[in-house]
Amino acid sequence: MPDFEITDEGILKKYNGHEEHVIIPEHLIYIGTHAFYNCDFIKSITFPDSVIHIWKSAFQGCRNLEEVILPEYLADIGEGAFCQCQNLKKITFPRRLEKIGKDVFLGCVSLEQAVLPDSVSELGQGAFQGCEKLKSVRLPKHLTELKSYLFSYCASLTEIEIPETVTKIGTQTFWNCQGLSEIHLPDGLEFISNDVIYDYQRPCCYFTYRGIRFSGSRDAGTCVYMIANHNFHVNVPITKKVWIISQMYQQNPTEENLLQYLKEEFPNHIKTMIEENQTNTLRQILDIGQMIQKENIDELIRYAIDKKSYETQIMLTDYKRKQFGFESAEEKAKGLLLE
């Protein structure tokens, strides 16, 4: 077979032919490193079912390859195996596939769909990075990690269902995924990078984690840590922190750490919101009820008066009346209520 360099161990080391439609010989086990590297004239590949391993950069740069049906018993695809196959639109994965390596489909700008079998236990870093037309992905049910850059620059991706088994999401996993606006995070998630998603051209993405919804273009990891550990002493913008705390309070208004925080630290957040004139957010917080403690309400009303934030003063006073009532006519006359 002059077109194929094959070793006695069943490794296809190099393709020397110039056919557009390549049929790989039977009984091969390995497609070797760089075996079809930059064979940009190839449009289709037919694999024998004997192939179990595709090694590093085996088909890298085959820019006219349009569709691939992988062999039935394939176990793993090596790093960059189909990297820069710019016209690859469709790939069919076998049900026994176990591992997809780093950068396997990097720069496959025409790939539109990826339906991964549940047998896959590992997706390499940047495996689908730069797949600009990728619209839908079906992830394996038992996957435990979404590695860094996995779907970065997948501009057409509009939704992603993350398996409940995932416990870790790495750096820039969804970086510049312009179509993603909502991501539901599994309840068992233990770590997510702060810079998991970002796009300079549009508003940030929203996450939902354990029933709490928040925006998280630059601090998703910190927000998840705060929710998971009920640790409210984290570096998150005040308005966002208050919004998350309010949702946690609605879920569990008797949680001890939360109540302690509401008593000791929460009034300072309200003061910051008064200073920044965050009236709408403050109104939403007050509508929940009972988040501001009785012993703090008068201090906050006076603070609003001092800052000449009269709309906030009215809101806080009305909150006091509804939640706690007024203790006396004298108190009402002190200026805590505008009439």
- Where exactly are the structural domains of the chain? 1-125+136-143, 144-229, 249-339
**What pLDDT is attached to residue 334?**
54
Residue 338 clears pLDDT 50, i.e. is over it:
no
Q: Which CATH number describes the domain made up of 1-125+136-143?
A: 3.80.10.10
**What pLDDT is attached to residue 333?**
52
Q: Which residues contact 287 (CB under 8 A, 6 or more apart)?
A: none
**What pLDDT is attached to residue 226?**
95
- Give the predicted TM-score (pTM) of the model: 0.87
14-67 pLDDT per residue, tens: 999 999 999 999 999 999 999 999 999 999 999 999 999 999 999 999 999 999
Contact between 102 and 126 under an 8 Å Cβ cutoff? The reply is yes
How many alpha carbons lie under 13 Å from residue 181 in its C-beta half-sphere?
4
Residue 205 clears pLDDT 50, i.e. is over it:
yes
Q: Please list the alpha-helical segments (H only) found in the chain.
A: 220-229, 238-251, 256-264, 266-275, 279-288, 294-306, 310-323, 329-331
**What pLDDT is attached to residue 1?**
60
64-96 pLDDT per residue, tens: 999 999 999 999 999 999 999 999 999 999 999
The candidate with the shortest Cα–Cα distance to 232, out of 249, 245, 219, is 245
Residue 303 clears pLDDT 80, i.e. is over it:
yes
Residue 201 clears pLDDT 60, i.e. is over it:
no
Handedness of CA 78, 75, 139, 195 (dihedral sign): negative
Query: How large is the average pLDDT for residues 189-196?
Result: 94
Number of Cβ atoms within 10 Å of the Cβ of 107: 23
Rg, Å, the chain Cα set: 28
Comparison of pLDDT for 200 and 206, the residue scoring more: 206
CA 68 to chain centre: 28
Task: Using pLDDT thresholds of 50, 70 and 90, give the confidence band for residue 281.
Answer: confident
**Tokens at 149, concatenated:** 């850059």
Task: Using pLDDT thresholds of 50, 70 and 90, give the confidence band for residue 203.
Answer: low
**What pLDDT is attached to residue 287?**
87
Number of Cβ atoms within 10 Å of the Cβ of 20: 12
What 3-state class would DSSP assign to 22? strand
**What pLDDT is attached to residue 65?**
97
